[in-house]
């Protein structure tokens, strides 16, 4: 466990202890201070989640705690694995409330409106800052639920002009069980929404580093519910994809998928659709829903670090010196960084810019579910002299 980094209005900490109570106690020893109002954490799925949930509820009794499992963590030291990383928010600067969405299949606009209205009511009651221009939402969803599109579109309608970002929970690339955390328990098939109202400046952003090539693939048969594409250009999907990538079907693996995703053009911009696996019938399962009739374009990576540096530094020019950046970074981006030998450089950049977050199975931005993207919020430091004195 590294020494805690103390920043105005937030505290951040991490622990690599394998015992859940030790890990939770370590976080609490660093985050439990006067005015702690909320804790957001991201953890490896390797933990005994039942015990970890109980431990977190015990050490943060009376404090709102939200989080999820990950496919890698972003800690105060940069990239981490097999650990837990967390942010503690000071209630003098942040009014935060959290909600759990259980039945994702049945989530409708009326449900979303009720959830958001309840969260807004809590923030208004705190009388910290006007809602408009001072509020953003963080969404965390079960990364294997295949319901992100439905939930995010519905929530986005209820949120209106409130910016939203988030990520899909991971499980250390096992693709078996992913969880979100709410009120002492980890849940599958669920989502959490955290509404953050703050007196501090912030900027929500999204970025990816892929550019479009000339290869076009038309989805001629697909099942959006299971995110399975059976045919591209009227032939088995894996055959068409492999040909477009210039490789054989037999060598298709996660490394190829990370370096050669497909994209969909929406409103003049390309959004990445990453392949999860090739199935025995040569269909392909994606991390995002893909519908019959859409045109997919082959994408190729540019500088991974340059794209995220551009967005974070642009955000810092708006909000000033960063208090903290909460980041949701696709696990395929981290895989690419490792494959291309820039992981240490990226990790150091994240550490330097005070990024805390996790590697995801999908990213979320203003109602969209996307892949191989970095979404997040940069929160600026309080103005000099504006931080309340310690009690």
The per-residue pLDDT for range 62-118, each reduced to its tens digit, is 999 999 999 999 999 999 999 999 999 999 999 999 999 998 989 999 999 999 999
Which of the four pLDDT bands, split at 50, 70 and 90, describes residue 7?
A: low
pLDDT digits (tens, 9 = 90+) for 144-172: 988 899 999 999 999 999 999 999 999 99
On whether the CB atoms of residues 94 and 196 are closer than 8 A, the answer is yes
Q: Are residues 291 and 312 in the same domain?
A: no
Which residue range is the domain that position 274 belongs to? 210-301
pLDDT at 174: 93
Same domain, 221 and 100: no
Residue 391 has pLDDT above 50, yes or no: no
Question: How far is CA 176 from each of CA 58, 140, 170, 191, 302, rounded to the nearest angstrom?
Answer: 28, 17, 9, 17, 31
- For residue 146, the model assigns a pLDDT of 86
Contact criterion met (CB below 8 Å) for 71 and 174:
no
Record the tokens describing residue 302, joined without a space: 């540019």
- Has residue 339 got a pLDDT over 70? yes
Same domain, 317 and 289: no
CA dihedral sign of residues 97, 166, 388, 34 = positive
Q: Containing H/E element for 325? A: strand 322-330
With respect to residue 24, please indicate whether it lies within any of the assigned structural domains. yes
For range 312-322, the mean pLDDT: 93
Domain boundary (301, 335, 368) is at: 301
Same domain, 189 and 85: yes
Look-up of token digits 């660093």: 30
Average pLDDT over residues 355-366: 96
Mean pLDDT of the chain: 94
Q: How far is CA 9 from the centre of its chain?
A: 22
If asked whether residues 30 and 88 sit together in one domain, one would say: yes
User: What is the model's pLDDT at position 270?
Assistant: 93
Residues paired with residue 139 on neighbouring β-strands, in sequence order: 166, 193
User: Is the pLDDT at 3 greater than 60, yes or no?
Assistant: no
What would the pLDDT profile of 115-146 be if each residue is shown by its tens digit? 999 999 999 999 999 999 999 999 999 989 88
Query: Whole-angstrom Cα distance, residue 55 to residue 343?
Result: 32
């Amino acid at each position: 466990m590294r020494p805690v980094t103390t920043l105005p209005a937030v505290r951040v900490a991490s622990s690599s202890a394998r015992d859940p109570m030790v890990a939770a106690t370590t976080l609490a020893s660093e985050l439990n201070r006067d005015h702690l109002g909320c804790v957001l954490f991201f953890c490896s799925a390797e933990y005994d989640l039942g015990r970890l949930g109980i431990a977190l509820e015990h050490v943060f009794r009376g404090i709102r705690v939200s989080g999820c499992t990950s496919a890698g963590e972003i800690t105060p030291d940069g990239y981490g694995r097999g650990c837990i990383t967390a942010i503690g928010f000071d209630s003098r600067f942040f009014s935060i409330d959290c909600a759990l969405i259980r039945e994702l299949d049945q989530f409708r606009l009326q449900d979303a409106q009720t959830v958001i209205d309840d969260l807004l009511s809590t923030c208004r009651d705190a009388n910290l800052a006007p809602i408009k221009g001072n509020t953003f939402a963080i969404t965390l969803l079960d990364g294997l639920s295949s319901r992100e599109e439905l939930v995010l579109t519905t929530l986005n309608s209820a949120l209106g002009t409130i910016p939203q970002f988030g990520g899909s929970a991971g499980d250390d690339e096992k693709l078996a069980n992913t969880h979100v955390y709410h009120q002492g328990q980890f849940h599958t098939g669920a989502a959490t929404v955290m509404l953050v109202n703050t007196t501090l400046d912030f900027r929500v952003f999204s970025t990816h580093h892929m550019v479009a090539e000339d290869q076009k693939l038309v989805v001629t048969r697909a099942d959006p519910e299971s995110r399975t594409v059976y045919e591209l250009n009227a032939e088995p999907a894996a055959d068409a994809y492999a040909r477009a990538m210039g490789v054989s079907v037999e060598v298709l693996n996660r490394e190829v998928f990370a370096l050669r995703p497909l994209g969909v053009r929406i409103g003049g911009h390309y959004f990445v659709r990453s392949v999860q696996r090739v199935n025995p019938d040569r269909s392909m399962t994606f991390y995002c829903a893909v519908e019959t009739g859409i045109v997919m374009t082959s994408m190729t990576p540019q500088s991974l670090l340059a794209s995220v540096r551009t967005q974070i530094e642009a955000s810092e020019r708006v909000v000033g010196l960063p208090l903290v950046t909460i980041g949701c970074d696709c696990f395929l981006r981290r895989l690419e960084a490792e494959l291309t030998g820039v992981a240490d450089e990226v990790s150091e950049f994240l550490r330097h810019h005070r990024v805390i977050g996790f590697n995801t199975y999908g990213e979320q931005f203003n109602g969209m579910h996307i892949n191989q993207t970095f979404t997040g919020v940069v929160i600026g430091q309080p103005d000099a002299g504006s931080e309340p004195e310690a009690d």
